[in-house]
Amino acid sequence: MISSIAGAIFSLEFVYVLTGIVLWLFAAMTFRDRANKRRRGSASFWVILGAIFIFGSVLPHWLTGVLVLVMAGIDGSGGVSRGHYHESTKAEQAQHAKRLRNKIFIPVLLIPIVTFGFAIAFRLLKLDVNRGALVGLGLGGVIAMIACLWITREKSRVLINEGRRLNEAMGAVNILPQLLASLGIIFTAAKVGDLIASGIHKIIPADSLFLLVMANCLGMALFTIVMGNSFAAFPVIATGVLSPLIIQPFGVRPEMVAIITLTAGSSGTLMTPMAANFNIVPAALLNMRDQYGVIRFQLPFALTIWSLHVILMWLMIKLF
């Protein structure tokens, strides 16, 4: 009995439900926010997202799909907008900082500490570490809320409103990673990757090792840029290019070239807005003026390390 309750609380499902409830609270406040010119559209957007969080595992997939289309429709017609959040002034913040001093770090430190703690606990219990980190992030968020209320003696209404302020500063960008993951699934079902691999087949002469290595790393980076995800690109490039054109004809150690191919894809991830959770969401989370600011910063690094991938792979094949 106790273990089944613990199992339910320390599950990903429970954390999803909590996140959905937080979204519904945001939506309720937004619905009553007269300063938001599109308060109905905005509130419905967050209500639907909350519903998918809470019921996503039991709703039929077609219904979730239709709800996603409705969300895209609301955002596409400009229906997701910002309101007024009774922000504090810099002077007030500085005054609080003088009073609370380092105590204010406790809640924000609790988020990574709990995330870490759960990851390690799951590892020790021989459970899935990644799941542990996610459950930890969710429960860490809740524990941090409680700690923050306790330290600041603030009303829970203000707590939720501050969360709403950060959430709506990001807006519909929030759901982009989930949408792009769906796009990736549909690209895969439509066999877009096979098409790219066969294109490379046709262009590159099969006897030039350097050109093949370059085409392999380029194909991997390009396909990652399109998919926004090197993990989705790797099986396609490995099957269509790496194995038939490099590993087999040149008798290369598969592990050596495979892992370098994967990180050649990571160089692509650094350059693409399609990897929204790494490049676009952080820009929104940090309130950057330029949506593509993170990509611009990463571009010289990404291009340099991509070239080094080509040289390294070619050298390692030659030397070993």
Contacts (CB under 8 A) with other proteins, residues 181-220: 181-187, 189-192, 195
Residue indicated by tokens 């799909």: 65
192 contact partners, CB below 8 Å, separation of at least 6: 226
- Dihedral sign computed on CA atoms, order 127, 9, 137, 18: positive
271 to each of 21, 34, 313, how far by Cα in Å?
Answer: 35, 40, 21
Among 14, 18, 127, 201, binds other proteins (CB under 8 A): 18
- Transcribe 62-81 into DSSP letters: HHHHHHHHHHHHHHHTT---
Per CB under 8 A, 28 contacts other proteins: no
User: CB of residue 1 vs other proteins: minimum separation in angstroms?
Assistant: 27
Least Å from the CB of residue 33 to other proteins? 15
Name the nearest CA neighbour of 159 among 149, 169, 144. Answer: 149
Task: Find the binding residues for other proteins in span 256-285 (CB under 8 A).
Answer: 256, 258-260, 262-263, 266, 269-270, 273-274, 276-283, 285
> Considering beta carbons, is residue 4 or 102 the nearer one to other proteins?
102
Footprint on residues 52-91 left by other proteins (CB under 8 A) = 52-53, 56-57, 59-69, 71-73, 75-76, 78, 87-88, 90
Residue 303 sits in the site that holds other proteins (CB under 8 A): no
Torsion 149-153-156-159 (CA) sign? negative
Q: Judged by CB, which is closer to other proteins: 10, or 278?
A: 278
Binds other proteins by CB under 8 A, chosen from 175, 214, 215, 218 = 175
d(CA 138, CA 145): 11
> Three-state DSSP class for 154?
coil
Q: Counting contacts by CB under 8 A, is residue 93 touching other proteins? A: yes
Could you tell me the smallest distance in angstroms from the CB atom of residue 191 to other proteins?
7
CB-nearer residue toward other proteins: 30 or 279: 279
Spatial contact of 320 and 260, defined as CB atoms under 8 Å apart = no
- Residue 122's alpha-carbon distances to 125, 130, 148, 194, in angstroms, are 5, 9, 26, 38
Question: Which of the residues 123 through 162 are near other proteins (CB under 8 A)?
Answer: 123, 129-130, 133-134, 137-138, 140-142, 144-145, 147-149, 151-152, 154, 158-162
- The nearest distance, CB 319 to other proteins, in angstroms, is 12
Q: Which of 231, 249, 250, 318 is the binder for other proteins (CB under 8 A)?
A: 231
Under the criterion CB under 8 A, does residue 254 sit at the interface with other proteins?
A: yes
- Residues 6 or more apart whose Cβ sits within 8 Å of residue 4: none
Q: Are 242 and 257 in contact (CB under 8 A)?
A: yes
Least Å distance between CB 2 and other proteins?
A: 25
Reference 165, options 290, 285, 21, 293; nearest CA is 285
Number of chain positions touching other proteins (CB under 8 A): 152
Question: Applying CB under 8 A, which part among 14-22, 36-44, 203-211, 212-220 lies near other proteins?
Answer: 14-22
- Running DSSP on this structure, what letter comes out for residue 210? H
Q: Which is nearer to other proteins, 36 or 268 (CB)?
A: 268
